[in-house]
Amino acid sequence: MHLQLLAYHQDNTVKIDVIDNGPGIIKEAIENIFVPFYTTKRSGSGIGLSLSRQIMQLHNGSITVVSEPDVKTVFTLRF
Domain boundaries, the chain: 3-78
State residue 44's pLDDT score.
86
pLDDT higher than threshold 90 for residue 37 = yes
Classify residue 20 by burial, with Cβ atoms within 10 Å: 0-12, 13-18, 19+. middle
What are the strands of the beta sheet with 72-78, ordered from one edge?
Answer: 3-10, 13-20, 72-78, 62-68
- State whether the Cα torsion 78-26-24-70 is positive or negative: negative
Question: CA dihedral defined by 50, 48, 29, 13, rounded to 10 degrees?
Answer: 60
- pLDDT: is 70 or 40 the higher one? 70
Whole-structure pTM value: 0.89
Q: Select 3-78's CATH number: 3.20.20.105, 1.10.3720.10, 3.30.565.10, 1.10.150.120.
A: 3.30.565.10
DSSP symbol at 5: E
Q: Give me the mean pLDDT over the 59-63 stretch.
A: 97
Q: Largest alpha-carbon pair distance within the chain?
A: 40
To the nearest whole percent, how much of the chain has pLDDT over 70?
A: 100
